[in-house]
């Protein structure tokens, strides 16, 4: 199949598309192309939903309680530690690795926490990514910030192509508990079709939007040189954003962007997806976002743009597909959210 044909990831959805639109408060946009975008409404959460959402954090407490004094000294860090809010493409939040530092029961708890913060159907894809990139979860690094017996704590796992968090919503107005990172390299220099890359479908979906743009819109959206991939600080309301404003798109084009939003959030657990949508809505919603594509590093010179970016005043989703996939995410309710 041509890589530019419509591609989605229904098998890895944390929410069905209909559930996603309902929980996000998205409804069909009536009227002319210039009609305002709907905002994302905060979804209602039942008691059962809260229990399900808190499950990985419950395991974090069990992991913390199981640590020996020597282990706590190495991987239990104060909430104020600078590594809590740090993010990189390949880094060790602490020196110790899961496979070498933790006993078998603790390793099982770490695997359970990680599974809990990912979407059920997508989790095997994360496992494949970690195996391809680093030899599996045993080579990754885990730290716990704060005390899980309190209301302010965060579990973070890092390594090659990974920064993922379980925070118990300890960081108000900040999706995922802080900036996250994901990526994959089936080989360091992937070919244009990115065969086997578990995240390439996201670029294919974004490129559907580009194909739907007219000539004038493409000129606005397509930029020669991409910003640094780790440039994910918020620009705020007064910062000039690159690319084309989502609010300027037609109804059909906006629906495509909404589909992209659904699919890039698909790898993560529903409660984190809903939280990300709440923060986006609080910062102005989809109408505040800009979408940009970059000519730089177009693998195969095929016009399927390997680098693209969704950005708003307090939202950055930067996807870099060359030479392999790196993705940087930073979402808050406001540019100054802690």
> What gap in Å lies between CA 242 and CA 138, rounded to an integer?
39
Backbone angles phi, psi at 204, to 5 degrees: -60, -40
Could you write out the DSSP letters of every residue in 192-206?
TT-TT-TTHHHHHHH
List beta partners, residue 143.
156
pLDDT grade for 40, boundaries at 50, 70 and 90: very low
pLDDT grade for 162, boundaries at 50, 70 and 90: very high
Question: How far is C-alpha 263 from the geometric centre of its chain's CA atoms?
Answer: 10
> What gap in Å lies between CA 170 and CA 151, rounded to an integer?
6
Domain boundaries, the chain: 10-44+184-331, 47-157
Q: What is the mean pLDDT of residues 112-124?
A: 97
Residue 106 has pLDDT above 50, yes or no: yes
Residue 53 has pLDDT above 80, yes or no: no
Residue 182 has pLDDT above 90, yes or no: yes
Could you write out the DSSP letters of every residue in 249-271?
S-HHHHHHHHHHHHHHHTTB-HH
pTM of the entire predicted model? 0.87
Predicted local confidence at residue 51, as pLDDT: 41
pLDDT grade for 169, boundaries at 50, 70 and 90: confident
Residue 21 has pLDDT above 90, yes or no: no
- Summary mean pLDDT of the chain: 87
Question: Is the bond preceding 323 in cis, omega lying within 30 degrees of 0?
Answer: yes
Neighbours of 14 (CB within 10 A): 22
Task: Give the largest Cα separation in the chain, rounded.
Answer: 64
CB 164 within 8 A of CB 180: yes
Q: What is the mean pLDDT of residues 229-256?
A: 94
Q: Does 159 or 336 have the greater pLDDT score?
A: 159
> What gap in Å lies between CA 316 and CA 331, rounded to an integer?
6
Backbone angles phi, psi at 55, to 5 degrees: -55, -50
Residue 181 has pLDDT above 60, yes or no: yes
- DSSP secondary structure code for residue 90 in this structure: B
């Amino acid at each position: 199949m041509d890589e530019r044909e419509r591609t989605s990831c229904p098998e890895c959805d944390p929410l069905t598309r209909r559930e996603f639109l309902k929980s996000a408060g998205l409804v069909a946009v009536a009227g002319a192309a210039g009609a305002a975008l709907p905002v994302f409404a905060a979804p209602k959460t039942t008691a059962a939903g809260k229990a399900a959402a808190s499950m990985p954090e419950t395991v974090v407490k069990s992991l913390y309680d199981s640590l020996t004094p020597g282990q706590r000294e190495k991987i239990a860090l104060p909430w104020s530690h600078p590594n809590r809010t740090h993010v990189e493409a390949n880094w060790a939040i602490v020196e110790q690795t899961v496979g070498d530092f933790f006993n078998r029961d603790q390793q099982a708890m770490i695997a359970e926490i990680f599974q809990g913060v990912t979407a059920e159907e997508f989790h095997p894809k994360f496992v494949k990514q970690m195996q391809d990139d680093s030899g599996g979860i045993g080579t990754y690094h885990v730290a716990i910030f704060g005390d899980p017996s309190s209301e302010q704590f965060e579990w973070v796992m890092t390594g090659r192509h990974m920064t993922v968090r379980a925070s118990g919503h300890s960081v108000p107005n900040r999706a995922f508990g802080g900036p996250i990172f994901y990526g994959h390299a089936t080989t360091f220099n992937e070919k244009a079709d990115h065969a086997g890359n578990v995240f390439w479908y996201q670029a294919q979906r974004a490129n559907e939007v580009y194909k739907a743009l007219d000539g004038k819109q493409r000129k606005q959206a397509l930029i020669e040189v991409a910003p640094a991939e780790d440039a994910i600080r918020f620009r705020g309301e007064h910062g000039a954003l690159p690319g084309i404003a989502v609010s300027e798109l037609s109804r059909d084009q906006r629906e495509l962007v909404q589909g992209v939003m659904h699919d890039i959030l698909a790898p993560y657990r529903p409660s984190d997806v809903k939280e990300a949508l709440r923060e986006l809505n609080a910062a102005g919603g989809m109408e505040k976002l800009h979408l940009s594509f970059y000519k730089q590093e177009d693998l195969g010179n095929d016009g399927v743009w390997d680098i693209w970016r969704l950005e708003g005043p307090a939202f950055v989703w930067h996807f870099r597909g060359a030479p392999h996939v790196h993705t940087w995410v930073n979402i808050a309710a406001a540019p100054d959210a802690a």
